[in-house]
Each structure stands twice: as C-alpha cells, then as structure tokens.
Structure 1
Amino acid sequence: MRILVMNPNTTASMTAAIRATATAAAAPGTEIIATEPLWGPESIEGHFEGYLSAAAVLDRLATLDMSFDALVMAGFGEPGREGAQELLDVPVLDITESAAQMAMMLGHAYGIVTTLDRAVPQIQDRLLTAGLLQRCAAVRGTGLGVLELERDVERTVEVIIEAAREAVRAGAEVICLGCGGMAGLQEKVAAALGVPVVDGVAAAVKFAEAVVGLGLTTSTGRSFAPPRPKVIGSWPLSTHLRPSAERAQSSPRNTEFSAQTSGI
C-alpha cells in the first residue's frame, strides 16, 4: 500500500517532519511518500493563504507522476479536501477530521491546540461542516506562527502543553494537535498532560490504511463525482511554471503526473 501525504505549504522541512511522523505510524508494508505544492504560501495562517494553498495542492495533484492508494492532506482546518475527492479515484483523508474522529473514540469531549488564535474560527468552521464540533470542548491557540514551531522545539512543546491544559480545564478529555507542523510532538505533550494526545497525521494514515484495506474509496454517486469536462484557462498552472521539457499533461483522475519536490 502506498499513501501520499500532502503538506499544503511549500516549506520542505515541514514536509520532512510530516513524512517522519506518517512513516512512524504506518504499518509494515505501507509506503509513505510526502510532498508539497510547487507554488503557494510558505505557511498557512488564514483564509486567503488557505484558499491559495487549496488551489496549489489541487494543481500539484493534477500533475503528479505516480500512483498511490490513498491521499492524506496534512493541513489542519484548511480547504481543498473536497476538491481532491473529486479529482482522485482513491480515498482522501484530512488530518482535521481524522484527529477529531479518533479523539471521539477515546473520550467524551476533545480539545484542539493550534497555532495562532486567528486559526481558531477557521478550525471551528471546518469541524462544524464535518459535523464534529458538538463534542469539541475547546480550540486554543498557542500564539505561535506555523514557521515558529520548528525554531525551538522544547519551547514549542511547553507552549502547546500550556494551551492544552486550558482545553482540559474546559472539559477536553483528549487533545488533538491542530497543525501538521506539530507532527511528532504528541508523546511529549501526552506525558505532561496525562490524557491521550492525537496527532492528525498519524491518525489519518491509520484511517487510510483501514479504508484501503477494506477495499473502500470515496463515493462518486453525487457530491464527489469527477469534475465535469470543461475548459479551465491556464490549468494546471504548474505546467506553465516549468521548462517545456518537464511539462506533463494534466488528467482528471490519478494518472499521468510529473513530480519535482521533496524527492518525488
């Protein structure tokens, strides 16, 4: 089984950290590949950057030259998942819903610790749309920007623990790490809190393995039917950004791709 994990920003070091967490969670025989868009914001901290990233991720998926059995989208609370479900013929999971779903299996109420406070409403909206907000006791920001998470890991863990304690006091029995850039920190946070801590990347990988193992994929009967054939000007954009020798033909489903970043 091969699972593609997509970092929605263009920071390759974050892709590497996400890849490491996904690989650690994967079962023997599961191959993890990870990449990021060819263009777009270096981090995502708001709706504007989120929608830019969604377009960049879909562009990347439409021009990626490899097959895979499932896609994990590693952006927390960010748009684009539904578009990928229409585009691809494999299961698509995102870390927001995967983390919340797993947390609800472990406790009555869960909390989320994320980056900046401005991300809180965006995450709440995503949970509401997914039907998962009712059992969320709290979403708390740490005040750290996405790119700050990697600068001082020990300080990052301290700040996450402080925010997570606020969520626990608000009624959370399980904590979700609310950013792909927090991947790999769950054990340190759990040791300090004494409650389960769910990493969304790891959770999504395990759900992806289960869905693929059961022979299931996204329903195309209605909401996520393939995009209707039509002219889309300058799409995919990345084919216009590469030298002509490297350009690939776009495809509406998971075929005929060309890869450049993060070793794939």
Structure 2
Amino acid sequence: MRILLINPNTSGSMTERMVASASRSLAPDVELVALTAPRGMPYIASRAESVIAGATTLELIAEHQDSFDAVVIGAFGDPGLIAARELFDLPVTAMAEAAMLTACMVAQRFSIVTFSRTLTAWYEDAVALSGLQARFAGIRVPNVPFVSIDDVQGELESELVELCLRAVEADGSDAVILAGAPLTGLAAKVADRVPVPLIDPLDAAIGQAALLARLRTSPARAGRFARPPSKVATGLSPALGSWIERQESAAGIG
C-alpha cells in the first residue's frame, strides 16, 4: 500500500520530521511518500493561509493520485480536505478530523493544545466542521512566545505538558490532541507525563487513511461528495485543470 503525505506548509524540515515520526508506527506493508508544498507559507496559521494551501494541496493530489492508494493532508486545520473528497476518487484524510475522531474513540470529551493563539480560530472552525462541538472541551495555548517553528516542541515542551494537565483537571478532558504539524511526535515523547490519552494527529490520519484503503471504499456517485460536473478551467496547473474538465465523464454524467 502506498500513502501520499502532503505537507501543505513549505517547510521541508517539517516534512522530514513528520516522516520520521510516522515511520515509527507504519504497518510493514505501508509505504509513505511525502511531498512539501512548493509555494505558500512555512507554516499555516490562519484561515486565509489555509485557503491558499488548500489549492496547492488539490494540485499535488491531481498530479500524483494515480500512484497511490490514499492521501493524508499533513496540516491540522485540514486545508483542502472537503474539496479533495469532492474531486478525487481515492480516500483522503487529514490531521484535525482524524485526531478528533480518534479522540472520540477513547474519550467522552477532548481538548486541543497547540502552540500559537493565532491558530485558535481556524482550529475552532475545524471542530465545528466535524460536528463534535458537544464533545469539545476547548483549546489551550501557552502564554509565552516561541522563537523558531522548527524548535517549538523543545522550546515549549514544559508549557505544553502543563496545559495538557490543566485540560484534564480544569476542563474535564478525557483525551488531549497536540495540534499542529510542528508538534508531530510530541505526544509519544510526553505521554507518561499526562494521565489521559494524548493524540498525535498525524498518526491518526495515516492510520485512518490505511484503513480506508484496506476497506476499498467506493467513491461517491450521489450525495454531498458526488463529483461535480465538468467545467473548463483557466490558469490552473495542468493536472488539476485536466481533472476538473473530465469530472463529468468520470462521474458517469452525460
């Protein structure tokens, strides 16, 4: 099985960290291939940046979809996820949705802990999109800044662990999601310091992508994710433009 991991951020070092972290829990028959966004921002931190990254994500899926069994979008706010499910036939998962669904399998209520207050509005939107507000206990963020996005785990480790403990004690959380691609791998590192399950969003997204590929789920032919009609596209990447223009015939319409 081949899974495509798309990092919608432009940081190559972040991609390397995600691959290294994910490799520790991959099934023996799963090959993970990672791509880094060729344009955009080093790390996505807002809804506007997410829209930009989502378009790049769709282009990368269109270019590489034929070689893979599933796709994982490696950013917590899930840029491009809903659009990708509408356009493409192979399973697509992403970190926020996968982490929240996983949290609900081990907990009644979950919290999100992340590293920057700028992220909170975007992450709250992700919770709303999932329909899990009733099981969401809130977001906690350190009150101290970080210097480097590449070192944010090390810089804020103590503060992030303390916030996980507060989420359990003050918010009644039964699980905590460590959110944001720069925090990938931290859950395993600090799990023994927090008394409830810590969810690593990338591990959750890859695990669910592999499961969907094994289930051989069929693409939607009706409903909310049915393929849209074909449409002439101008100025898009060749692969994405070609895919959009062939949607009508691919969906069996006309």
* TM-score normalised by the chain length of structure 1: 0.84
Aligned residues of 1:165 and 1:193 also touching (Cα < 8 A)? yes
Per the alignment, residue 244 of structure 1 pairs with none
Q: Could you tell me whether the CA contact under 8 Å between 1:70 and 1:91 is conserved in 2?
A: yes
Q: State the Cα distance separating 1:86 from its structure 2 match.
A: 2.2
For residues 81-160 of structure 1, what are the structure 2 equivalents within 5 Å?
A: 81-142=81-142, 148-151=148-151, 153-160=153-160
For residues 149-172 of structure 1, what are the alpha-carbon distances to aligned partners after superposition, in whole Å with 9 as ceiling and x for unaligned? 422543232222122222222111
Q: Structure 1's 115 and 219: CA in aligned 2 closer, same or farther, altered over 3 A? A: farther
Query: Aligned partners of 1:72 and 1:157: how far apart in 2?
Result: 26
Shift of 1:25: 2.1
Q: Deviations over 1:213-257 (max 9, x none)?
A: 122144242222234221222111xx6xxxxxxxx685428xxxx
Alpha-carbon shift at residue 76 of structure 1 (Å): 0.9
CA offsets, 1:54-105, max 9 Å, x none?
1111122222375100111111124310111123211111111111111111
Matches within 5 A, 1:36-55: 36-55=36-55
Determine the C-alpha separation between the residues in 2 that align with 1:141 and 1:148.
Answer: 16
Q: Distance in 1 between matches of 2:146 and 2:30?
A: 28
Helix, strand or coil: the match of 2:243? coil
- Between 62-71 and 141-150, the greater mean CA deviation after superposition: 141-150
- 84 and 70 in structure 1: CA distance in 2 versus 1, 3 angstrom threshold: same
Letter in structure 2 aligned against 1:170: D
- For 1:217 and 1:15, locate their aligned partners in 2 and report how far apart those are by CA, in whole Å: 29
Measure, in 1, the Cα distance between the counterparts of 2:9 and 2:146.
10
Residue correspondences, number = 244
Q: Per-residue CA shift, 1:143-201, capped at 9, x if unaligned? A: 57798342254323222212222222211111111111211111222111122111011
Change (3 A) 1:222 1:184: same
**Which residue number in structure 1 is paired with residue 250 of structure 2?**
none
- Measured after TM superposition, the shift of residue 108 of structure 1 is 1.4
Native 8 Å contact 1:112 1:177 kept in 2:
yes
Contact map agreement 2:84 2:92 (CA 8 A) in 1: yes
Query: Could you tell me which amino acid in structure 2 is paired with residue 107 of structure 1?
Result: A
| Structure 2 counterpart of 1:252, from 215, 231, 243 | 243
When residues 235 and 27 of structure 1 are mapped into structure 2, their CA distance, relative to the original with a 3 A threshold, is: same
Rounded to whole Å, the distance in 2 between the matches of 1:137 and 1:152 is 24
Superimposed CA distance per residue, residues 98-117 of structure 1 (whole angstroms, 9 cap, x where no aligned partner): 11111111121111111211
**CA offset digits 1:40-66 (Å, max 9, x no partner):** 111111112111111111122222375
CA distance in structure 1 between the partners assigned to 2:12 and 2:144 by the alignment: 19
Paired amino acid for 1:151: D
Displacement of 1:21: 2.1
Pairing 1:1-264 to 2, within 5 Å after superposition: 1-64=1-64, 67-142=67-142, 148-151=148-151, 153-168=153-168, 169-236=170-237, 251-252=242-243
The SS at the match of 1:139 is strand
Q: Quickly say closer, same or farther: Cα 1:145–1:43, change in 2 above 3 A.
A: farther
Q: 1:144 to 1:232 in 2, by over 3 A?
A: farther
Code of the residue aligned with 2:207 in structure 1: it is K
- Decide whether aligned partners of structure 1 residues 217 and 133 sit closer, same or farther in structure 2, where only a CA change above 3 A counts: farther
Identity score, percent: 31
Give the conservation status (yes or no) of the 8 Å contact 1:36–1:57. Answer: no
Secondary structure of 1:62 counterpart: helix
d(CA) in 1 for partners of 2:65 and 2:171? 46
Where structure 1 has 5 or more consecutive residues not aligned to the other structure, the ranges are: 240-247, 254-264
> What 5-or-longer segments of structure 2 have no aligned partner?
245-254
Tell me, yes or no, if the aligned pair for 2:153 and 2:182 is still in contact at 8 Å. Answer: no
